[in-house]
Amino acid sequence: MTDFVEKPISFWIDSTPQSQFPSLQGSVSVDVAIVGAGIAGITAATLLKRAGKTVAVIEAARVGTGVSGHTTAKVTALHQLIYAELIKQQGETKARLYAESNQAAVEQVAQLIEQDGIECDFSRQSAYTFAESDDTLGQVEEEVEAALKLGLPVALVQATSLPFPIAGAIKLDRQVQFHVRKYLMHLANSIPGSGSYVFEQSRVQHVEEGQPCEVLTDRGTVQAKDVIVTTNLPILNQGLFFAKAYPKRSYLIGVPIDPAAAPVGMYIGAGSDYYSIRTTPYGDRLLLLIGGGGHKVGTVTHTQERYHKLAAFAQSRFGIDSIAYRWSTQDMVSFDKLPFIGKLTPFNNHIYVATGFSLWGMSKGTLSGMLLTDMILGRENPWAELYDATRATPFITPQSIKENIEVGVHWLGDRLKGLQTSSTRDVAQGEGKLLTLDGEKVAVYRDHQGKCHGVSAVCTHLGCIVDWNDAERSWDCPCHGARFDYDGAVLHGPAINPLKQKVVEGVEG
């Protein structure tokens, strides 16, 4: 199978017009500044403004084009297999709060769509976690028992509309699917005015707490009593969230399918090597979205293979060869499986964060907006303690030990990569390699016209060495998930600054 040549693009972004909010110029003052225009930031801004606060949303790129614009856009309280584990690790009371808060987020999305009449391909769907074989059926049955204990109206079913047999599935009715960017754009368009703003193409460089707080960008300054940072992984390092979670990347393809042949509902497989399945309107047909292939960011160079595996699944299970879309995304997976929502540190009174959504950002991002709104308005919220961003996180777990050791290995060991490769002649067209040129570690990509593009290989976040991602043609940091294009521009935080460009043509080691 040949590699994909065209650049990946999300269906959600490709099927909506580019937003046209202004960049920040000079200085403005508001009640609440919100950094990041994904589902968490836009939800918080919407609810705060409707509660009477003035807000300013500050986005480095465009509204809904980050992680939220690359999701599967399933809004559900059924998060693959989570409840049996939560009961064991956190206890029944906390697990019930998790279930209730995520289901409340599902209803919040539905309520906003109904109240505002948002045209975003909204529909109520059943969500399923399915076991293809008896190997994972026991886990599904255990999840049914746990979810019922927590008050979720789930059921164990043996039959679905999937065109292949399963051993069983947990089913939760009346969940939500939608077109995420249509939804976010409607909410974003309702924010400006009466002292509130949405600013795009304005990258935040620093946030300083004070009276007021100051949000410093590359375009100007926003002063605010309170600041919310919703940038997937906070761009502020004080809370050490990069050590409490790890970045996981996953892949999606969109394949056209006739409605009569399409499955009904939202699906995800049990186990670690799972597939995610749902449909969305696509002209007079449907677009079947198939996701999977997850791995830690920056640890897989040949990511084309992940798309090939999804394509093979589409062909073998649905008989479809034509791929209309492909894209990838990433999220921070917290070690205790709970998001971090609340104050940045115990010493901050006016800077709030939301992170660690663990691949279920549509519900957790929404509940983040709800909870942070209550916190800023001084309202009691029963979820606050569970998701407290300053909580004592279990740093010493098998997963946390593994991930943080790997960070140390990458920080030190990756500096040895490419020491034997010291010539740009060794970089083929369409390939990226780490080279040592004039004693310096350089990341070099040769485009399909033969031109070499060189940048420093040292991530501008905390100094790890980046690695090549061939499907996205990007340099990805394996430590904390920052990503850069081949010319060094920041694609994904927590890095704020680009990789420094290097002149590499004619330079040898």
Strand, helix or coil for residue 259: helix
d(CA 492, CA 485): 9
Q: 504 vs 22, 140, 248, 438, 508, CA distance in Å? A: 36, 54, 31, 10, 8
Q: Is 50 exceeded by the pLDDT of residue 321?
A: yes
Task: Identify the helix (H) or strand (E) that includes residue 113.
Answer: helix 92-116
pLDDT at residue 417 in the model: 55
pLDDT at 393: 66
Distance (Å, whole) CA 508 – CA 492: 30
Confidence bin at 403 (pLDDT 50/70/90) = very low
Distance CA 117, CA 388 (A): 33
CA distance 465 to 479: 8
Query: Helix (H) and strand (E) counts for the chain?
Result: 10, 25
Q: Cβ of 407: how many Cβ atoms within 10 Å?
A: 18
* Out of 274-283, 432-441, 459-468, least confident range: 432-441
SS (HEC) of 313-329: HHHHHHCCCCCCEEEEE
Rounded CA separation 384/367 (Å): 11
pLDDT in tens, 244-278: 999 999 999 999 999 999 999 999 999 989 999 99
Please, are residues 360 and 42 in contact by the beta-carbon 8 Å criterion? no
| Model confidence at 3: pLDDT above 70 | no
The per-residue DSSP string of 357-405 comes to -TT-HHHHHHHHHHHHHHHHHT---TTHHHHBTTS----SSHHHHHHHH
The string of pLDDT tens digits covering residues 7-28 is: 899 999 999 999 999 999 999 9
Q: Is there a contact between 325 and 9 (Cβ–Cβ < 8 Å)?
A: yes
**Could you read off the pLDDT of 185-215 as tens digits, one per residue?**
999 999 999 999 999 999 999 999 999 999 9
Structural tokens at position 154: 């789930």
Nearest one of 287, 288, 296, 289 to 250, comparing CA atoms: 296
pTM: 0.92
Share above pLDDT 70 across residues of the chain, in percent, rounded to a whole number:
92
